Amino acid sequence: RALRWASGRAPDRGLRASPRARTAMPSWVIDRYGSNDVLRFTTDMTFPIIHFPNEVIIKVHAASLNPIDLSMRSGYGATALNMKRDPLKLKTGETEFPLTLGRDVSGVVMECGLGVSYFKPGDEVWAAIPPWKQGTLSEFVVASGNEVSFKPKCLSHTEAAALPYVGLTAWSALNQVGGLNQSNCSGKRILILGASGGVGTFAVQLMKAWDAHVTAVCSHDASTLVKKLGADDVIDYKSGNLEEQLKTLPLFDFILDNVGGSTEKWALDLLKKWSGATYVTLVTPFLINMDKLGVADGMLQTGVTVGSKTLKHLLKGVHYRWAFFMPSGPSLDEIAELVDSGKIQPVIDEVFSFSEVPKAFLKLEGGHARGKTVINVISRQ
């Protein structure tokens, strides 16, 4: 980012006011948790306000849906997310509703806070908004400057909206938690369970960009896509006992598990022992524990669970880790460079208009998506 400053792209500036005063905007919201019928379109959603000097307001051109949006629609993680929204419980009597879902955004900066010097109004940007903030299925969204990055030049807004959340989730698992990077991946054997979804398709491409050997697990009808993304070996989990199929292959240096469930019981046996090999899962009970047990007991139970599993597997010569989505503008900067260099491309399953958001949720709810479900916000009717 220092190079961008040096180039004079974004001089210091103060808070700007909108050309026209705005108090409300179109948005898709929920007023309670439940199934798809809780989604409601409104033209009276409160217009976002810059509260902190490092924030920007983005005009949303495109957004996309992720499995977390389905889960949050049903109330998943509400206890932890509400604690993050109001840790001191200052907003007595208020609730999180109306709540806007959607985490991905590709759009244009409209306003900047006093402390923002990296962006200016008119910049094309992308970001993944944390789940405790109002989401992107709106005309405008507010984000912290450190969550935002310049959109890859080679992508349209529709294409760009498919990448931030899944890209940062995979980046967290592979790089920040797993310790993989461009300099240490060459020749390593990587296994990706659940390779045809949003996170999986991104992970396959990232690992190939870093010169790893990738074995991808998906269904047969997704194998052509996954091979096209660069996977060296593709295993159809429906063609027989998956555990037995994988045991016939050489052991792995790293496993990324997007599936969870019973796979955790046997997947770690596929790792090379006493070599630093690591298993990272994106399926964790952290938010579920807090929803069921409350904040204190949920955190305690989660700590006991991860601690016991880590120690158990460490004694067997392998590393066990959990990973989560982490918002990060600097990480998106690195991802944008990979995209513009042609090493990573968005994988889009279907594109919907802004008026079709409920239909897009139903599509995602049906499962077996090949890539992302994208919403064109700017072209709403």
With contact defined as beta carbons under 8 Å apart, do 69 and 102 qualify?
Answer: yes
Q: How many CB atoms lie within 10 A of CB 112?
A: 25
The count of other CB atoms within 10 Å of the CB of residue 267 is 22
Rounded Cα–Cα distance for residues 232 and 111 (Å): 45
Based on the domain organization, do 358 and 311 belong to the same domain?
no
**Least confident span in 40-49, 57-66, 77-86, 132-141:** 77-86
Residue 196 sits in the same domain as residue 259 = yes
**Quick one: 140 and 232 in the same domain?**
no
Q: Please give the backbone phi and psi of residue 73, each rounded to the nearest 5 degrees, phi first.
A: -55, -30
* Residue 10 is assigned to a structural domain of this protein: no
Tell me 316's DSSP state. Answer: T
Between 91-95, 304-308, 369-373, the lowest mean confidence (pLDDT) is in 91-95
What's the pLDDT score for residue 21?
Answer: 60
Higher pLDDT, 89 or 95: 95
192 and 277 assigned to the same domain = yes
Handedness of CA 304, 307, 313, 319 (dihedral sign): positive
Structural domain includes residue 12: no
Q: How many domains does the chain have?
A: 2
Residue 332 covered by a domain: no
Q: What does the DSSP 8-state code read for residue 176?
A: I
CA distance 75 to 71: 6
DSSP string, 280-314: EES--SHHHHHHHH-HHHHHHHHHHHHHHHHHHHH
Residues 237 and 144 in one domain: no
pLDDT at 359 over 80: yes
- Residue 316 binned pLDDT confidence (cut-offs 50, 70, 90): very high
Query: 279: domain CATH number?
Result: 3.40.50.720
* Position 168 in a domain: no
Say yes or no: 93 and 143 in one domain. yes
Q: Which residues contact 33 (CB under 8 A, 6 or more apart)?
A: 73, 74, 75, 78
Structural domain for 135, as ranges: 24-163+346-376
Q: Which of 103-107, 191-195, 285-289 has the lowest mean pLDDT?
A: 285-289
- According to the model, what pLDDT value does residue 1 have? 57
> Residues for the chain: how many in total?
381
Q: How many CB atoms lie under 10 A from the CB of residue 1?
A: 14
pLDDT 10s digits, 9-30: 444 334 444 445 678 999 999 9
DSSP-assigned letters across all residues of 237-261? TTSS-HHHHHHTSPPBSEEEESS-T
Whether residue 92 sits in one domain with residue 52: yes
Q: Which residue has the higher pLDDT, 380 or 220?
A: 220
User: Considering the domain boundaries, does residue 335 fall inside one?
Assistant: no
Q: What is the pLDDT of residue 9?
A: 44
Q: What is the CATH number of the domain that holds 118?
A: 3.90.180.10
Domain shared by 192 and 270, yes or no:
yes
Q: What is the mean pLDDT of residues 147-157?
A: 98
Together in a domain, 158 and 197: no
Residue bearing tokens 């948790």: 33
Does one domain contain both 190 and 227? yes
For residue 295, the model assigns a pLDDT of 77
Q: Is the pLDDT assigned to residue 298 strictly greater than 80? A: yes
Q: Is 187 found in the same domain as 298?
A: yes
Let me know if residue 5 belongs to a domain: no
**pLDDT at res. 185:** 98
Residue 55 has pLDDT above 80, yes or no: yes
The answer to the question of residue 65 being in a domain is yes
Question: How far, in Å, CA of 356 to CA of 187, rounded?
Answer: 44
In the block, residue with structure tokens 């010569």: 317
CA–CA separation, 195 vs 212, rounded Å? 15
The CA distance from 370 to 49, in Å, is 36
In a domain, 128, yes or no: yes
SS (H, E, C) 155-184: CCHHHHCCCHHHHHHHHHHHHHHCCCCCCC
Say if residue 124 is in the same domain as residue 234: no
Q: How far apart are CA 151 and CA 60, in angstroms?
A: 13
State the pLDDT at residue 37: 97
| Strand positions, DSSP E, 16-128 | 24-30, 39-46, 55-65, 104-112, 124-128
pLDDT of residue 264: 93
Q: What is the pLDDT of residue 300?
A: 84
Mean pLDDT of the chain: 92
